[in-house]
Amino acid sequence: MRTHDSVSVLIFNTTSHCFVLVKQFRPAVYMSEWERSKSKPPEPAEQPEGAEGAEAGTAAQPEASKSGEGDGGEKAGDEAVASPGQPPVSVGVTYELCAGLVDKPNLTLEEIARQEVLEECGYDVPVTKLRKITSYRSGVGVTGAMQTMFYAEVSDENCVGEGGGEPQEGELIEVVKVPLHEAMSFAYDEKIPKTMGVIFSFIWFQSNMSPKYKISTNV
C-alpha cells in the first residue's frame, strides 16, 4: 500500500489575534459514529393503550409524557421511525489544522505547506515566514506516514481569497477562527470534535509564543 507523507500548518492571524482552522466532513468519522449509535440499546416501546386494563393505561401515562409534550413529542417520534439509528451529518465534521499531502516531488515541504494555506484558508504566506515546529509519525496503526508541522503568522493583508480547498478534488472546507483567549478551552473541550494536531499545536503556542502577545491562553 502506497502512502504519502503530509504537512500541517498552525496559522495565527496577528491582526485579529485568532487561530485559523479548517472544518470539514470526514466519512470515516461519520461511519465510526454511525456504528457507535447502532451499538446503543434501543429505546423501550410505548405501552399500547388498553392492553392491560385501566390500571395499566394509568401507569403508562407518565412514561408517555417523557417523550414530549403535545405535537412536538409526536413529531419527534415520527422522525425517529423515519431514520432509525442514522446520526446527523454533523457528527462527521471535525476541526483540523490546514494540511495536505506531500505528493508533489518537485516542491519542498515549505512550498507545499504554503500552497495548502493559500488553497484552504486564502492566505498568501511567503515560504520564509513558515517556521517548522516538528515532525512525527501520523496514522501509525494504518499508514505510518510522516507529518511535518509548521507555524505561520498572517495578517488580514495576507488574505487574498476565501479559501475552501479545491472542490474539483472533493474538498469541501470551511475556514473557522478561534480567538487566542479561547484556545485552550477549545482544545480541551471534548464536545468539540478535533484532531490531536489542533490540541498539540495550541499547547506549543502557549509554551513558545503566547508570552510574545502577553495574552493568557489558560483554560
Domain boundaries in the chain?
Answer: 6-32+89-180
Task: State the residue for C-alpha cell 449509535.
Answer: 37
Q: What is the pLDDT of residues 48-101, one digit of tens each?
A: 555 554 444 444 444 443 333 444 434 333 333 335 568 888 888 999 999 999
| H/E element, 101 | strand 98-101
> pTM for the complete prediction?
0.75
Separation of alpha carbons 201 and 192, rounded Å: 16
Q: Could you tell me if 127 and 137 are in contact, meaning their C-beta atoms sit under 8 angstroms apart?
A: no
CB 77 within 8 A of CB 68: yes
Give me the residues paired with residue 11 across strands: 20, 152
Using one digit for the tens of pLDDT, what is the confidence trace for 120-148? 999 999 999 999 999 999 877 777 889 99
Terminal CA-CA length for the chain: 42
* CATH among 3.10.20.30, 3.40.50.1370, 3.20.20.70, 3.90.79.10 for 6-32+89-180: 3.90.79.10
Specify whether the CB–CB gap between 113 and 9 falls below 8 A.
yes
Please state, in angstroms and rounded to a whole number, the distance separating the CA atoms of residues 119 and 161.
Answer: 8
